[in-house]
Amino acid sequence: MFNIVIFGAPGSGKGTQSENLIAKYGLFHISTGDVLRDHIKRGTELGKIADGYIKQGQLIPDELMVSILAQVLDSNAEAKKGVIFDGFPRTIPQAKALKTMLAERGAVVNAVVGLEVDDAELIDRLIKRGKESGRSDDNLETIKKRLDVYHNQTSPLRDFYIGEGCYKAIEGVGSIDEIFGRIAAALDPLYNA
Ligand code: AMP
């Protein structure tokens, strides 16, 4: 199992680069944001709960998020070959839960691809995306809250994964192909090892 966490602030390019990662490494992709938006669209109980948090730019509580992730992992046989975790973990408790979940399956996080982009560029990108995405959280007020949440709750994971020895810092600015070139250069030696 080759497991990658694609990590970075909202607007750092996680979704875009996940598509390139799927194409190159053929791994199973789990975007927790997409999973939640699908529940909202289908009007499930979970979707109703998630909608309130997402509109406010807040994180879904850890316990709920971890159980959703475990369910997605268990119900998809393709996840056994390896997973691109996109948008998860977002807190230290989620990272610890992921470590345990993978250990139970005899696996680890092999690499964390950390897309590093400054806030001014992120805001610019998210406002542009909001004009097309129709996402309830791509407006200036919610974007600022999501960046605060990122800096307070999610960015400490960078140090956590540096400590685990698997963090790969990637400059997330430039063309999509340039950025993917940097990602592949960091992952290829691990993937082919
Ligand atoms: P994303 O599509 O990854 O930007 O996620 C959109 C929103 O979904 C976030 O702002 C959170 O409200 C929620 N969300 C997605 N993933 C998580 C997670 N791992 N933990 C908590 N909330 C999440």
Residue 18, CA distances (Å) to 44, 48, 153 in order? 26, 27, 22
Alpha-carbon distances, residue 43 vs 38, 49, 105 (angstroms): 9, 10, 32
Find where tokens 């956590």 sit: 160
CA angle (60, 54, 34) in 5-degree steps: 85
Residue 101: both structure tokens together: 């979940």
Q: Does 69 sit in the ligand 1 pocket, CB within 6 Å?
A: no
Q: Tell me the C-alpha to C-alpha distance, in Å, between residue 48 and each of 37, 38, 39, 108.
A: 10, 11, 8, 33
Q: Which two tokens stand for residue 76?
A: 């998809």
Atom of ligand 1 nearest to the CA of 89: 19
Task: Render pLDDT for 97-115 as a digit per residue (tens, 0 to 9).
Answer: 999 999 999 999 999 999 9
Sign of the C-alpha dihedral, residues 6, 10, 15, 17? Answer: negative
Please tell me the distance from the alpha carbon of residue 109 to that of residue 53, in angstroms, as a whole number: 27
Q: Note the pLDDT tens digit of each residue in 25-56.
A: 999 999 999 999 999 999 999 999 999 999 99
Q: Are 113 and 170 in contact (CB under 8 A)?
A: yes
Q: Given ligand 1 and candidates 6, 48, 60, which is best to mutate, with the most ligand atoms within 8 Å of its CB?
A: 60
Structure confidence at residue 181 (pLDDT): 98
145 as an active site residue: the answer is no
The pLDDT, as a whole number, for residue 134 is 86
Of the residues 99, 135, 144, 158, only one is catalytic, namely: 135
Please list, in sequence order, all residues whose beta carbon lies within 8 angstroms of the beta carbon of residue 136, skipping any fewer than 6 positions away.
51, 54, 55, 142
Reading the block at residue 95, the tokens are: 């990272």
Whose CA is closest to atom 1 on ligand 1? 33
Q: How remote is the CA of residue 50 from the centroid of ligand 1, in Å?
A: 9
Q: pTM of this prediction? A: 0.96
Ligand 1 centroid distance, CA of 162 (Å): 22
Please write the tens of the pLDDT for every residue from 57-110: 999 999 999 999 999 999 999 999 999 999 999 999 999 999 999 999 999 999
